[in-house]
């Protein structure tokens, strides 16, 4: 992983994962929202560029993302009023996340459709990380996996937790878990870079 994207993933984790309710069910809703916003934002950007309105892209894209977030929250209210109420304003934090906006607006050196596929590749990687993190936290905290439900969330029980796992779903616990994960990633990434450099020097 490139160093700049490593730090982008850290910021994304803090601005998207941290404000959400600490359940896998809400991770699913956030990932669906990220894909919806990315698709709407990218298509809007491509259309505006074809209309020679590049200067207006940031403002109009932000307006479109806000509108789609409102629309998405209304759909969530129809499906599960409890989930929509619990999620609160965290859905809007996903909308205004620098990670989402940055991936949509950053198209340097790419054709429109290449940018489209590149962005969805990055979002897919982050979404997989987010979902794995949410489900891991569910399991170690509750011994269960939470899923979206029209009545709120429902649990698939896996095992009985014989300790108080609520720390892992608190903000300090989440920060510690994210810190450990990114620390391991940084260590492995650094070792891989050393190996790559050694191979490069050996070839010389």
Least confident of 8-12, 86-90, 151-155: 8-12
List the chain domain ranges. Answer: 3-203
| Residue 189 banded pLDDT, cuts 50, 70, 90 | confident
Say if residues 17 and 94 touch (Cβ distance below 8 Å): no
The DSSP result for 94-135, as a single string, is HHT-HHHHHHHH--TT--HHHHHHHHHHHHHHHHHHHHHHHH
Q: Is the pLDDT of residue 8 over 80?
A: no
Coil, strand or helix at 75: helix
* Spacing of C-alpha 86 from chain mean position: 18
Read off the pTM.
0.81
Q: Closest Cα partner for 94 from 121, 58, 69? A: 69
Say if residues 24 and 131 touch (Cβ distance below 8 Å): yes
pLDDT digits (tens, 9 = 90+) for 109-166: 667 777 778 888 888 888 888 898 899 889 988 889 999 998 888 999 988 877 777 8
């Amino acid at each position: 992983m490139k160093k700049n994207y490593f730090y982008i993933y850290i910021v994304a984790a803090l601005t998207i994962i941290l404000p959400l309710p600490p359940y896998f069910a809400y991770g699913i809703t956030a990932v669906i929202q990220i894909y919806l916003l990315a698709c709407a934002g990218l298509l809007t950007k491509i259309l505006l560029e074809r209309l020679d309105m590049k200067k207006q892209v940031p403002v109009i894209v932000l307006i479109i993302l806000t509108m789609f977030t409102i629309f998405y929250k209304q759909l969530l209210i129809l499906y599960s009023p409890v989930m929509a109420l619990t999620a609160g304003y965290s859905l809007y934090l996903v909308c205004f996340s620098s990670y989402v906006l940055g991936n949509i607006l950053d198209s340097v050196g790419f054709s429109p459709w290449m940018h489209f596929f590149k962005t969805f590749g990055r979002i897919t990687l982050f979404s997989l990380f987010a979902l794995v993190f949410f489900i891991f936290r569910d399991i170690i905290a509750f011994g269960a996996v939470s899923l979206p439900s029209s009545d709120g969330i429902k649990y698939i029980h896996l095992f009985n937790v014989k300790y108080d796992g609520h720390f892992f779903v608190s903000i300090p616990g989440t920060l510690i878990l994210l810190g450990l994960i990114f620390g391991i990633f940084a260590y492995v990434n650094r070792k891989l870079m050393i190996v790559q450099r050694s191979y490069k020097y050996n070839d010389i």
